[in-house]
Structures are given as structure tokens and as C-alpha cells.
Amino acid sequence: MLRFGNRIGVWMYRTLDGRLASGSKDVHVLMLTTPGRRTGVPRSTCVRYLDTPDGLIVWGTGSGSRQDPDWFRNLRAAETTEVQIGAKHSLMHARELTGPERHTMWTNVILREDPGIGRFATKAKRTIPVAVLEPVEK
């Protein structure tokens, strides 16, 4: 069911250039298109993000699943990912945050923005991965 919902979300994002993507003006959603880590086939998904001075921050709660979401595992394996925000497309590099840097971003930025996200970490019983997306230099 989640895969079907993702397909609808991706179709809507592409068709409407991101309008109506989140249902709230306070929640920002981008679309990632990343090669599958096993197949190399481009996979798209819409994820929530925060725009920070460090770059665009994304995190992989997987709605509280016990394993990291496929899109995040693909992001880890890829050299670059295409990011669409509204009608704008950019090629970006993802850098997974670890250790104190990840903890600081999770606690002081993500949870401060929306404390409710913490329930997914509790449900998942795993460390939620966090990445910063940075533009690829041309």
C-alpha cells in the first residue's frame, strides 16, 4: 500500500510541480530521484526536508519501520541525486551525518522544528539516519 501511495505522491509532485505536496505551508517536501542501489533504475520519492545554512536536511524515519527506508539506502549508495523543489531541478550530493554532527542536527534542528517526529524514532527502535544535500559543483 505504501508503494502505491508513493507512486501517487510522485505523480502529483511531477504533475503539479510540487504544489499541494504537503498539505501545509509549514511542511516542505522535495522529490528525490536516485538510482536504485541494486538495479540502477531511477527511483523517485517525496520526502520532507528542512532548508538550513548547511544545506537541505532529509531524514529517514520510514514511518517508524525497523529498517532504514529504501530511498535512504539508495541515497547512501549513489554519488548524486536529482532533487526537485517545486519546478526547480538540481543535482545534489548527499552526505550522511554521523556521530555528534548527526545528533546535533536531529536534536537541535529536526526535533526542534517538529517534536512529533521523535515518535517515529521511538517506534523504530533505531537511530534515524540524517543527510545533508549539497549542490554538485559544476
Share of the chain above pLDDT 70, in %: 88
Q: CA 7 from chain center: how many Å? A: 16
Q: CA 92 from chain center: how many Å? A: 12
In this predicted model, what pLDDT tens digit does every residue of 79-92 receive, in sequence order?
999 999 989 999 99
Q: Is the pLDDT of residue 1 over 50?
A: no
Q: Is the pLDDT of residue 10 over 80?
A: no
| Inter-CA distances, 36 with 40, 45, 63, 73, 101, Å | 5, 12, 20, 9, 27
> pTM of the full predicted structure?
0.88
Q: Is the pLDDT of residue 138 over 70?
A: no
Residue 23: per-residue pLDDT? 58
